[in-house]
């Protein structure tokens, strides 16, 4: 496919998705009611809305399914969505060790750390189901494609199971879709060859809705496994609207990771309902404590709940 063909395809998909969203009256066009009576703005393909469909997806090889919270124990279910994260420049070895200990304690999906900590995390988590995720081309995304691909392979060989790469935002906004797709494809191919998963950070706060659609479409075309909202270092973090839009564009087969500014159980729950299948957060322990509290409160008889301040 030539760069002109790519540009025409992206423009066509963007127009079609925007038309669908506008006709639906908003980004979350799948609004409905979940089994617990709460509002659901996801795609309708979860284990509550479509159990037969989910069984088919699992039979086809899926290893993680997005579902409305409340299907199983809230805290345990939520933990499987969370990448326990520390990406600040001043993170110390003791903080990374604590991150891994907490991830093992709560059975989080993964830890997400800078590349320099990958080998340590792989050693600390080798006897647990917790995966090691790291970042590439982070946080600006302006690294050369060849460098991102090399960094990906190096990190995987050090023990990373998942790679969160940042797209070339400037190239996307310039309309150079061929470069953006090549950039993503290099990392996605390295991940496939090395047995890891790839996530594409689109830095949604810097993009228009049209550009978000383009970024997600290119990520899907390039063979990535996930799209991700934010680095956490940009001008804004994850929003329900962005997650719903990204889910609408990539469909049910790809993962959607929400990251940036997720501080509470309520934040995480809303993003999962909007279609996120992974949550990146540094406040993961607090979110889990709040989730456990929400489960306790939900299990109490109404009279007892009223007595504790409802």
Catalytic residue among 228, 242, 267, 295: 228
Q: How far is CA 136 from CA 5, 42, 82, 178, 229, in A?
A: 28, 29, 19, 20, 15
Query: How many beta carbons lie within 10 A of that of residue 107, not counting itself?
Result: 15
Kindly give the pairing relationship between strand 278-281 and strand 255-259: parallel
Q: Is there a catalytic annotation at residue 164?
A: yes
Q: Tell me, rounded to whole angstroms, the distance of Cα 25 from its chain centroid.
A: 25
Catalytic residue among 83, 164, 242, 267: 164
Q: Is there a catalytic annotation at residue 257?
A: yes
Catalytic residue among 148, 257, 267, 295: 257
Beta carbons within 8 Å of 214's beta carbon, 6+ residues apart: 10, 13, 14, 172, 177
Active site residues: 164, 228, 257
């Amino acid at each position: 496919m030539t760069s002109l063909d790519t540009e025409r395809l992206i423009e066509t998909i963007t127009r079609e998705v925007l038309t669908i969203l506008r006709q639906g009256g908003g980004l979350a066009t799948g609004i409905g009611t979940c089994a617990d009576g709460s509002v659901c703005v996801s795609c309708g393909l979860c284990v509550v809305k479509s159990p037969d469909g989910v069984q088919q997806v699992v039979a086809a090889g899926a290893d993680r399914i997005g579902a409305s919270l409340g299907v199983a124990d809230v805290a345990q279910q939520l933990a499987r969505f969370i990448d326990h994260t520390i990406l600040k420049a001043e993170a110390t070895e003791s903080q990374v060790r604590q991150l891994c200990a907490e991830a093992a304690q709560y059975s989080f999906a993964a830890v997400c750390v800078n590349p320099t900590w990958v080998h340590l995390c792989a050693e600390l988590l080798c006897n647990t189901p917790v995966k090691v995720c790291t970042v590439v081309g982070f946080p600006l995304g302006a690294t050369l494609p060849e460098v991102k691909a090399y960094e990906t392979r190096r990190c995987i060989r050090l023990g990373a199971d998942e790679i969160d790469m940042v797209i070339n935002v400037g190239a996307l906004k310039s309309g150079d879709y061929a470069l953006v797709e090549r950039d993503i494809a290099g990392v996605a191919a390295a991940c496939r060859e090395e047995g890891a998963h790839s996530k594409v950070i689109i830095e949604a706060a810097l993009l228009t809705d049209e550009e978000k659609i383009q970024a997600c479409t290119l990520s899907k075309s390039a063979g990535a496994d996930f799209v991700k909202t934010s680095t956490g270092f940009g001008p804004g973090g994850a929003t329900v609207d962005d997650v719903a839009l990204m889910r609408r564009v990539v469909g049910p087969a790809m993962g959607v990771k929400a990251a940036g500014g997720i501080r509470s159980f309520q934040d995480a729950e809303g993003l999962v309902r909007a279609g996120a299948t992974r949550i990146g957060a540094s406040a993961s322990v607090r979110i889990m404590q709040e989730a456990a509290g929400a489960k306790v409160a939900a299990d109490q008889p109404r009279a007892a709940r009223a007595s504790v301040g409802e």
